[in-house]
């Protein structure tokens, strides 16, 4: 698993087929773990007010709990991507178990929403040397990040430190759509927008950022 605000250069070099930053020099905001009845509506409201499109790396079991909220994410023009069915570490599973954990999410999205999944992010950033081949068989691109916000630690000062020191014009930023980040998510997003504006960085559309 990756620790620190920004992944080490050697990791990005060894896994250079993974997406670590945007391809168009624009910031991509991403959210892991949703949808969440507590957090997702507030995130969507914030994004709409600021005319930002984001990528939501959702968990299948949460989609089953709240399909209407999932429909709203899609309707408002955001990208939905695969964060597994149960939010389990795929690098701790055998190949067939990991494949099922990922494939079943794609099947759920196709069956319930007629939505084709192109992108994946492993829970907790956990992957290994087998991950590349596994995702190739499922025709998925692995989207990692260049800035982990640590919003799930519920410490706004830590989020600020990461944004101040690691936000770049081509950053893929990870926030969390869950109860852990609930109390600071809007403040964290507001601060990110403020710093981006100060540095004259733009926010991009998910599909354009991930080409």
End-to-end CA distance of the chain: 25
pLDDT at 36: 97
Which pair of tokens denotes residue 124?
Answer: 């907790």
The Cα angle at residue 38 between residues 34 and 39, in degrees rounded to 5: 55
Crossing angle, helix 40-49 and helix 67-75, to 10 degrees? 10
Dump pLDDT digits (tens) for 7-38. 999 999 999 999 999 999 999 999 999 999 99
SS3 for 31? strand
Domains contained in the chain, CATH given: 19-209 (3.20.20.370)
The position carrying tokens 């964060």 is 83
- Residues paired with residue 58 on neighbouring β-strands, in sequence order: 82
pLDDT at 4: 81
Give every CB contact of residue 91 below 8 A, 6+ residues apart in sequence: 98, 122, 126, 127, 128, 130, 131
Stated pTM of the model: 0.97
| pLDDT at 150 > cutoff 90 | yes
| pLDDT at 44 > cutoff 90 | yes
Dump pLDDT digits (tens) for 94-111. 999 999 999 999 999 999
Q: Give the integer Cα–Cα distance in Å for 141 and 79.
A: 14
């Amino acid at each position: 698993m990756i620790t620190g605000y920004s992944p080490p250069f050697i990791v990005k070099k060894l896994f250079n087929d993974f997406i670590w930053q945007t391809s168009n020099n624009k910031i991509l905001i991403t959210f892991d773990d949703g949808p969440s009845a507590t957090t997702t509506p507030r995130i969507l409201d914030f994004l709409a007010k600021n005319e930002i499109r984001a990528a939501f790396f959702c968990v299948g079991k949460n989609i089953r709990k709240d399909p209407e909220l999932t429909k709203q994410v899609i309707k408002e023009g955001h990208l939905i991507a695969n964060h597994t069915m149960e939010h389990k570490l795929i690098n701790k599973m055998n190949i067939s178990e990991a494949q099922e954990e990922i494939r079943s999410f794609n099947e759920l999205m196709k069956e319930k929403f007629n939505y084709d999944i192109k992108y994946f992010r492993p829970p907790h950033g956990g992957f290994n040397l087998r991950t590349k081949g596994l995702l190739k068989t499922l025709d998925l691109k692995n989207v990692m990040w260049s800035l982990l916000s640590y919003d799930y630690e519920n410490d706004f000062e830590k989020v600020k430190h990461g944004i101040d020191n690691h936000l770049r014009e081509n950053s893929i930023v990870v926030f969390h759509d869950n109860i852990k980040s609930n109390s600071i998510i809007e403040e964290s997003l507001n601060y990110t927008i403020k710093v981006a504006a100060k540095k004259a960085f733009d926010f991009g559309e998910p599909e354009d950022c991930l080409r």
